Amino acid sequence: MKRIGVFVCHCGLNIAGSVAVARVVEAIKDYPGVVHAENYIYMCSDPGQDLVRKAIREKSLNGIVMANCSPFLHERTFRNVVASEGLNPYFCEIANIREHCSWPHAYDKEVATKKAIAIIKATVEKVRRNISLTPMVVPLTKRALVIGGGVAGMQAALDIANGGYEVLLVERSPTIGGHATQLSGTFPTLDRPPCLVAPKMAEVANHPNIKLYTYAEIEEVSGYVGNFTVKIKRKPSYIEDEKCDLCGLCLENCPATFPAEFDRGLSQRKALYLSPQAVPQKLVIDPRSCLHFNGDQCRACEEVCPAKAIDFLQQETIVEKKVGAIIVATGYDLFPRERIGEYAEDPDVIDGLQFERILSPSGPTGGEVRRPSDGKVPQEVVFIQCVGSRDPEHGVPYCSRVCCMYTAKQAVLYKRTVPQGQAYIFYMDIRSDAKGYEEFVQRAMEEDQVLYLRGRVSKVFRDGDKIKVWGVDTLSGKSIEISADLVILATAMVPSPGAKELARKLNIIFDQYGFLTEAHPKLRPVETLTSGIYLAGTAQWPRDLPDTVSSASGSASKILSLFSRKELLHEPTIASVDEEVCSGCGYCVSICAYRAIEIDTKRRVARVNEAVCEGCGACAATCPSGAMQHKNFTARQFFEMIDVATGAYV
Amino acid sequence: MQFTSQQAQEIGNPTFAKSVKEISGTTLDRCYQCLTCSLGCPVNFAMDYLPNQIIRMVQLGLKEQVLKSSTIWLCATCETCVARCPNEVDVLRVMDTLREMALREGVKGKETIIPIFHETFLGSIRQWGRQHELSMLLLLKLKTRDIFSDLGLGVKMLLKGKLKLLPPGVKGSKDVKAIFEKTKGEM
B22 in A contact zone (CB under 8 Å): no
Q: What is the mean pLDDT of chain B?
A: 86
Answer CATH for A4-133 from 1.10.287, 3.40.50, 3.40.470, 3.30.160:
3.40.50
Task: Report the alpha-carbon distance of residue B127 to residue B140 in Å, rounded.
Answer: 15
- Identify the pLDDT of residue B13: 64
Phi, psi angles (nearest 5°) of residue B86: -75, -15
CB atoms closer than 10 angstroms to residue B176: 16
Using a CB–CB cutoff of 8 Å, tell me whether B183 touches chain A. Answer: no
Residue B10 confidence (pLDDT): 38
**Which residue type does A18 have?**
S
HEC per residue, A159-227: HHHHCCCEEEEECCCCCCCHHHHHCCCCCCCCCCHHHHHHHHHHHHHHCCCEEEECCEEEEEEEEECCE
* Cβ-defined contact of A454 to B2 (cutoff 8 Å): no
Q: In the Cβ-directed half-sphere of A179, how many Cα atoms lie within 13 Å?
A: 23
pLDDT tens digits, B61-78: 889 899 999 999 999 999
Full residue range of the structural domain in which residue B51 is found: 14-104
Residue B8: which pLDDT band, with cuts at 50, 70 and 90? Answer: very low
Question: Residues A279, A204: contact at Cβ < 8 Å?
Answer: yes
Nearest to A446 among B1, B4, B29 (CB): B29
Which of the four pLDDT bands, split at 50, 70 and 90, describes residue B3?
A: low
What residues in A contact B6, CB-CB < 8 Å? none
Query: What residues in B contact A480, CB-CB < 8 Å?
Result: 1-4
Task: Verify that B28 and B98 share a domain, yes or no.
Answer: yes
Among positive and negative, which fits the CA dihedral B142, B147, B149, B155? positive
Across the interface, of A446, A473, A478, the residue whose CB is closest to B30 is A446
Q: Which amino acid is at B99?
A: R
Q: Are A486 and A378 in contact (CB under 8 A)?
A: yes
Contacts of A424 in chain B (CB under 8 A): 1
| B4 close to A (CB below 8 A) | yes
Residues 6 or more apart whose Cβ sits within 8 Å of residue A614: A529, A530, A531, A574, A594, A596
Which of B104, B129, B145 terminates a domain? The answer is: B104
Residue A410 CB-half CA count within 13 A: 32
Q: Do B3 and A481 touch (CB under 8 A)?
A: yes
Check whether residue B85 and residue B134 sit in a common domain: no
Residue A435 CB-density burial (10 A; 0-12 exposed, 13-18 middle, 19+ buried): exposed
B179 falls within a domain:
yes
Separation of alpha carbons A417 and A381, rounded Å: 13
Domain A334-494 in CATH 3.40.50.300? The answer is no
Q: Is the domain of B122 the same as that of B95?
A: no
Fold match, A143-235+316-331+503-563 / A334-494? yes
CA B46 to chain A, closest CA, distance in angstroms equals: 18
| pLDDT tens string A383-401 | 999 999 999 988 899 999 9
pLDDT tens profile B76-101: 999 999 999 998 899 999 999 999 99
Where does a domain end: B76, B104, B132? Answer: B104
Residue A478 C-alpha from the chain's centroid: 42
> What percent of chain B has pLDDT above 90?
42
DSSP state of B51: H
The stretch B163-168 carries a mean pLDDT of 84
Residue in A202, A201, A213 with CA at minimum distance from that of residue A241: A213
Predicted local confidence at residue A420, as pLDDT = 92
Q: What is the predicted pLDDT for the residue at A611? A: 84
Q: How far apart are the first and last CA of chain A?
A: 28
Closest CA of chain A from B111, distance in Å = 21
Q: What is the CATH number of the domain that holds B93?
A: 1.10.1060.10
Asked if A141 contacts A565 with a C-beta cutoff of 8 angstroms, the reply is no
Q: How many CB pairs under 8 A join A and B?
A: 46
Q: What number of residues does chain A have?
A: 650
Could you give the number of structural domains in chain B?
2
DSSP letters along A16-42, please? TTTS-HHHHHHHHTTSTTEEEEEEES-
Of B14, B29, B60, the CB nearest to A476: B60
**CB-closest option in A442, A470, A480 to B30:** A442
| B174-178 mean pLDDT | 88
Percent of chain A with pLDDT over 90: 84
- Candidates A473, A475, A479, A487, partner chain B, best to mutate (most B CBs within 10 A): A475
In a domain, B89, yes or no: yes
Is residue A453 within 8 Å of residue A482, measured between CB atoms?
no
Are residues B128 and B90 part of one domain? Answer: no
Domain boundary among B78, B104, B130: B104
Number of CB atoms found within 10 A of residue B130's CB: 14
Residue of A nearest to B57 (CA): A476
Angle (nearest 5°) at CA B66 between B62 and B68:
125
Complex ipTM more than 0.85, yes or no:
no
Backbone angles phi, psi at A218, to 5 degrees: -85, 125
Instruction: Band the pLDDT of B164: cuts 50, 70, 90.
Output: confident
Is B29 within 8 Å of A483 when comparing Cβ atoms? no
Mean pLDDT over B2-17 rounds to 54
B29/A476 touch (CB, cutoff 8 Å), yes or no? no
Give, in order, the Cα–Cα distances in Å from A501 to each of A496, A552, B89.
Answer: 11, 21, 54
Distance in angstroms (rounded) separating the CA atoms of residues A331 and A548: 10
The reply to whether B150 and B177 lie within a common domain is yes
**Averages of pLDDT over each 10 residues, chain A, 650 residues:** 94 95 95 96 96 96 95 93 95 96 94 96 96 92 97 97 97 94 92 87 96 96 92 95 90 91 92 87 91 89 92 94 97 91 88 95 91 95 94 91 96 95 94 94 91 91 93 85 94 95 94 94 91 96 96 97 92 94 94 91 92 91 94 94 85
For residue B167, tell me if it sits in a domain.
yes
For B2, the closest chain A residue by CA position comes to A481
Helix A46-59 to helix A71-84 angle, to the nearest 10 degrees?
A: 50
Task: Count the residues in chain B.
Answer: 187
B85 and B19, same structural domain? yes
Q: State the smallest CA–CA distance between residue A46 and chain B in angstroms.
A: 48
Q: Does B27 touch chain A (CB under 8 A)?
A: yes
* Collapsed DSSP state (helix, strand, coil) of residue A60: coil
Q: Which of A278, A202, A157 is nearest to A549 (CA)?
A: A157
Q: Are A226 and A140 in contact (CB under 8 A)?
A: yes
* CATH node for A143-235+316-331+503-563: 3.50.50.60
3-state secondary structure B76-112: CCCCHHHHHCCCCCCHHHHHHHHHHHHHHCCCCCCCC
Q: What is the 3-state secondary structure (H, E, C) of A216-264?
A: EEEEEEEEECCEEEEEEEECCCCECCCCCCCCCHHHHHCCCEEECCCCC
If you measure CA to CA, which chain B residue comes closest to A485? B1
Helix, strand or coil, per DSSP, at residue A380: strand
Q: How far is B112 from chain A, CA to nearest CA, in Å? A: 25
What's residue A4's pLDDT?
96
Q: At what angle do helices B51-60 and B91-104 cross, to 10 degrees?
A: 60
Flag whether B4 is in a domain.
no
Top-tier CATH class for A571-631 = alpha beta
Of A422, A476, A480, the CB nearest to B57: A476
CA dist A596 and A609 (Å) reads 5
pLDDT over 80 at B12, yes or no: no
Query: What is the reported pLDDT for B186?
Result: 56
List all residues of chain B from 46 to 85 with a beta carbon under 8 Å from chain A: 53, 56-57, 59-60, 62
Rounded average pLDDT over B101-113: 90
Chain segment B43-64, per-residue pLDDT in tens: 999 999 999 999 999 988 889 8
Q: Are residues B26 and B94 in the same domain?
A: yes
Neighbours of A552 (CB within 10 A): 31
Domain ranges for chain A, please list them.
4-133, 143-235+316-331+503-563, 249-304, 334-494, 571-631
